[in-house]
Amino acid sequence: MKLKRKGLLGKNATLASLFVGVAVLSQVLPGGGAASGQTVASAQAQAAAIAARLNALGAQASRMIQNYDQAEASLSQVNQKIKDTQNQMSGTQSQIASIKIALSQEAIDSYMTGGNLSTLYALFNENPTQAAVRQEFLNTVTNSQADLVASYQAAVQSLHAQQASLKTLQDQAISVLSQATAAKNAVLAAEAQQKAQLASENSLVASLVAQQQAAQAAAQAAILAQQAAARARIIAASAPSVAPVTPFVGGTYGNPLRSIAGLSPERIDQGVDYHGYGPIYALGNGVILSVYNSGWPGGTFISYRLTQGPAAGLVVYAAEDIRPQVGLGQSVTPNTVIGTMYEGFAGIETGWASPSLTGETMARSSGQFGGSNSTAYGFNFSQLLRSLGAPGGVLQNNPPTGSLLSGWPVW
C-alpha cells in the first residue's frame, strides 16, 4: 500500500494571473512592515535596558535588605543585653534592701547596747550609700559588714556604667537600622518604578506588534482577494456552454490510461491509484485549470474541467508521479497528452477534483476521506475508468465511505 501525504495546503504555483498579488505584497510589506519592525525593535531594546536595570536594582535591594536584617538583629541583641542588665540591677536592688535591713538590725543592736538613737534614725531614713550614713554605720558594725556595703556600692556603679554603655550601643543600632530602612525603601521604590516602566514598554511592544500584524493581515487579505478574483475568472472562462450533468450515453470520453505500460491498479481512496509509466491523456474535451500543487507527492496536480459529455462541468485530476505537458488555460481533447507518468515512489492518483482550484478532491472537500479508506467519489471514478476499458481500483472498504451529490453521473 502506498504511503501518501494528501496535504492540500499549497496553491496553484502556475497561475500567472496570481503573481500580481505577490507583487502587491512585496510593495506593501517592506515600507510599513519595516518601519513597524524598527519601532518594535527600538521598544524591545528599551524594555531590555529596563530589565537590565531591574536586575541591578534587585541585587542592590538584596544587599539593602541584608543590611537591614543585620541592623535589626544587632538592635535586638543590644535590647536583650539592656534587659539582662536591668534584671541584674533588680537583683542588686534586692540585695540593697537586704543589706539595709541587716544594717538597720545592726544599728538597733548597737543602740540597745548603748549606741546613739540619731544613728538609728539616719539608718532608717537615709540611703545607706551616702557617705555620712556609711560612716556612722562603720562606727557600729564589724569589718565584714563594711566590706559587704563596699561590694554593693561597686556593683551598683559597675551596673550603671554598663547600662550607660549599652544605651549608647542601642542609640547607635537604632541609627543604623533607620539608615538601612531608608536605603532599603529607596531601592524598593526605584525597583517598583522600573517595573512600572517595563510594563509600559512591554505594552508598547505588544501594541506595535499588533499594528504590524494587522498591516500584514490587510496586505495578505488583499492578495487573497486578488487570487479569488483570478480563480473566478478562470472558472468563468472554462465554464461549460452545454447543459448540466446528464445520464451517461457512451462514446464521449476515452480511456486516459490506454498507453500506460505495465499499468497496475491499486487502492481506491480519494480517487484511484496506479503504477506504470507512459503518456496520460485527457478523459474528454476540457480546459486545464492547474498543473502543480505542493501539497501532493512530486508536486504535480493536473486538473481540467470537462466541457462535454455527461460529466460536463465536473473537474478531473491526475496527480503525483507525472511530468506535465500542458499549460494553464489550455484546451484539451481525449487525444491530448496531459503528462507522462514515470515510475516513482508514489505512482499516480486520478479522480474527481473539487472545483475550488485549491488542490482538494471531491472526496476530501465532502469529508469522505480519512487517510486510506475508499470513498464514494473514488469508487465512482473507478467505475468510469472501467467503463472506458481501464482496470478499476481495489476497494478498501465495501460499501465505500460517503455518497455522491444528487444528479452525479453513474457509470
What is the pLDDT of the chain when averaged over all its residues? 79
Q: d(Cα 240, Cα 236) in Å, to the nearest integer?
A: 9
Q: Count CB atoms within 10 A of the CB of residue 157.
A: 11
Q: What percent of the chain has pLDDT over 90?
A: 39
Q: What is the pLDDT of residue 227?
A: 67
Q: What is the pLDDT of residue 131?
A: 58
Q: What is the pLDDT of residue 313?
A: 96
Higher pLDDT, 20 or 363: 363
Q: What is the pLDDT of residue 162?
A: 78
The arithmetic mean of pLDDT across residues 51-79, rounded, is 87
- pLDDT tens per residue across span 152-185: 677 778 778 877 888 898 898 899 889 989 988 9
* 360, pLDDT greater than 90: yes
Q: What is the pLDDT of residue 327?
A: 96
Q: Is residue 208 very low, low, confident or very high in pLDDT (cuts 50, 70, 90)?
A: confident
Taking 3-state DSSP, the helix, strand and coil percentages for the chain, each rounded to the nearest 5, stand at 55, 15, 30
Q: What is the pLDDT of residue 353?
A: 98
Is the bond preceding 399 in cis, omega lying within 30 degrees of 0? yes
* 369, pLDDT greater than 70: yes
Q: Give yes or no for a contact between 381 and 355, defined as CB atoms under 8 angstroms apart.
A: no
Q: d(Cα 405, Cα 389) in Å, to the nearest integer?
A: 25
Q: d(Cα 104, Cα 100) in Å, to the nearest integer?
A: 6
Q: What is the pLDDT of residue 156?
A: 72
Q: What is the pLDDT of residue 226?
A: 77
Characterize 258-268 residue by residue with b for buried, 16 or more Cβ atoms within 10 angstroms of its Cβ, and e for exposed. eebeebebbbb
Q: Is residue 399 very low, low, confident or very high in pLDDT (cuts 50, 70, 90)?
A: very high
Collapsed DSSP state (helix, strand, coil) of residue 142: coil
* 107, pLDDT greater than 80: no
In sequence order, the 6+-apart residues with CB closer than 8 A to the CB of 407 are 244, 245
Q: What is the pLDDT of residue 342?
A: 93
Q: What is the pLDDT of residue 42?
A: 85
Q: What is the pLDDT of residue 140?
A: 56
Give this prediction's pTM.
Answer: 0.44
* 2, pLDDT greater than 90: no
- pLDDT tens per residue across span 226-280: 766 765 665 555 444 433 333 333 469 999 999 999 999 999 999 999 999 999 9
Q: What is the pLDDT of residue 236?
A: 56
Higher pLDDT, 109 or 318: 318
Q: Count CB atoms within 10 A of the CB of residue 116.
A: 14
Higher pLDDT, 187 or 260: 260
* 19, pLDDT greater than 60: no
User: What phi and psi, each to the nearest 5 degrees, are found at residue 107?
Assistant: -65, -40
Q: What is the pLDDT of residue 213?
A: 86
* 11, pLDDT greater than 50: no
* 284, pLDDT greater than 70: yes
* 285, pLDDT greater than 90: yes
362, with CB counted inside 10 A (0-12, 13-18, 19+), is buried
The H or E element containing residue 306 is strand 300-306
Collapsed DSSP state (helix, strand, coil) of residue 246: coil
Going from the C-alpha of 304 to that of each of 102, 203, 257, the distances in angstroms are: 130, 52, 16
Q: Give yes or no for a contact between 195 and 47, defined as CB atoms under 8 angstroms apart.
A: no
